[in-house]
A and B are shown apart, each in its own frame.
Chain A
């Protein structure tokens, strides 16, 4: 579904990604793991048009999307979350989730200013969907709170609700459970499992290896901007290169 071919990205001459190639198959969960600074977030940014790769191509459903600006990538049905939260603090929780339905608003500024009946009707439907999404993350009682005052764990979940409310074809999640406590992690994990069984395609950047091993169908390992292994969670777990580069180091620090 999503295909990266020889994607490279340099920041002022320093390579953050070099010749990364892999595929995210439809309907499966692909986990992207690697130590801090490996280039995982950069890879997501290059895929979603936030950054332009220095070299290589990104295609989505056989269509080249390398040079597309971020909003056009979003309109193809690719949604994402950000590692360091990008909520709109002054908007309410409900409005934050509603921004996840921007692509479906489908009206011009002029129509919006006239607030024609069909728009009011559509607005009500969008609100219902946003409330459902909030329900899934048990946040409906905070729907009218300004998002800025939520606790970190709640913010993380609002961002997930916002990314999933539109039922995107492809979901890119940058460390969705980082910084959450055990209970919250379990809850988000449950949501990811549900999304997975509903057939959503996901690229999941995550450090929580238990979660990765459990829900990923395929694991891609990045180290210093290079893709050093791809395979099932079992294969990757046994790959000596990975143990060396990633798991080993994790154990060493643990």
Chain B
């Protein structure tokens, strides 16, 4: 191999690691270039949603299931951290972990029965779950603060250092998001991840290859709930205020739309989907008012023309073209 070939080989071999490193560097430097708190507030929100969407995309794109209820796990994380830190004065970091464990248990208990369902039935069941959760947030106001929300949530801090301004939050939240990204990328590149991809492709074939399909679905469901819970905790500590609106069924469908935009099973696409849907209303005022229409419209269009999702669909087309062209070249 020549020097150039060696470098190219190194790049292809470590391309995932290189991309992650590049993005990390970019994020490290970002606040030096852009210190407008408003902009950073938006990119922080993108990071929070990215964590939820990464988990949800594993569940939808890899386990091949559907959930219209992940705003509930996001909300459990947020309200869990809020209640634990304000009412019970638990250390916020400890609260975040305890809440995630509890959310994992809840997801396990819900997942075992409802993941026997599939397709429309699973969609309805998860939607119902989110609906029930949202109603509890509204009704149980002694604990949740009801429709007016829950305020006074403390910031996260390390010793004297408090994460409350946008720049410090940027580093905190993106650290979590990059960890979620790294864990997801590792998972899908492993044998376990291939088993999940098989499950999403064809359940019978996956089982015949040794994948415990029922078990795998529940595990990924729990994993995605844990991701959502951490994101929720970060959300609560970032805004120091939470209200039921952020966790209703429209929030839950928005999360699915982010997955669909990014593409089923596309880990990098998850970041793109979260970013696009968070940014849309910023770019056009009109979207603010007709947000739910626009989101619904995007969902329908993508699913009609690129059922694998926007980014994944385009990549699939590209890959096919490339392979066919190479074959033609080889034959010529």
Contact = CB atoms under 8 A, between A and B. Distances in A.
B62 to A, nearest CB: 11
Contacts of A239: none
Contact of A112 (B191, B209, B210, B211): B191
A144 B324 CA distance: 12
Contacts, number: 118
Given A71-B211, A112-B192, A50 B197 contact: no
Taking each of B201, B204, B205, B207, which has the highest tally of chain A beta carbons within 10 Å of its own beta carbon?
B205
Interface stretch (B100-108, B163-171, B315-323): B315-323
Contact of B219 (A109, A126, A141): A109
B210 A75 contact: yes
Size category, A interface: 35 or more
B324 A71 contact: no
B136 to A, nearest CB: 30
B120 interface: no
B266 to A, nearest CB: 11
Interface string B166-196: 0000000000000000011011011111110
A104 B192 CA distance: 10
Given A90-B316, A91-B201, A145-B323, A80 B194 contact: no
A112 B193 contact: yes
Nearest to A49: B207
A243 interface: no
A70 B202 CA distance: 13
A89 B319 contact: no
A115 B192 CA distance: 11
A95 B207 CA distance: 16
Nearest to B191: A105
A184 B207 CA distance: 28
A123 B190 contact: yes
B201 A112 contact: no
Interface in B219-261: 219-220, 223
A101 B191 contact: yes
A162 B324 CA distance: 23
Contacts of A122: 191
Q: Which of B208, B219, B265, B324 has the most CB of A within 10 A?
A: B208
A225 to B, nearest CB: 22
B189 A100 contact: no
B198 interface: yes
Interface in A97-149: 98-109, 112-115, 119, 122-123, 126, 141-142, 144-146, 149
A109 B210 contact: no
* Best-surrounded residue of A50, A109, A126 (most CB of chain B within 10 A): A109
A165 to B, nearest CB: 10
Interface residues of B, number: 36
A86 interface: yes
Given A89-B201, A115-B186, A149-B323, A74 B194 contact: no
B322 to A, nearest CB: 9
A240 interface: no
A74 B191 contact: no
B213 A88 contact: no
Contacts of B190: 105, 107, 112, 115, 119, 123
B212 A115 contact: no
A242 B187 CA distance: 52
Contact of A100 (B186, B209, B220): B209
B44 interface: no
A82 interface: yes
A146 B316 contact: yes
B320 A88 contact: no
B50 interface: no
Contacts of A112: 186-187, 190-193
Contacts of A107: 190-192
Interface string A63-94: 00000011101110001101000111111000
B130 interface: no
22 contacts: A70-B207, A71-B207, A74-B207, A82-B205, A88-B197, A88-B202, A90-B197, A99-B195, A100-B209, A101-B191, A102-B198, A103-B209, A103-B210, A105-B195, A112-B191, A114-B183, A115-B189, A115-B190, A142-B323, A145-B323, A146-B320, A149-B323
Given A100-B209, A109-B192, A123-B190, 5 more contacts: A74-B208, A75-B210, A82-B204, A142-B323, A149-B324
The list of the 7 closest CB pairs from A to B, nearest first, reads: A105-B191, A88-B201, A112-B190, A70-B207, A86-B205, A74-B210, A115-B186
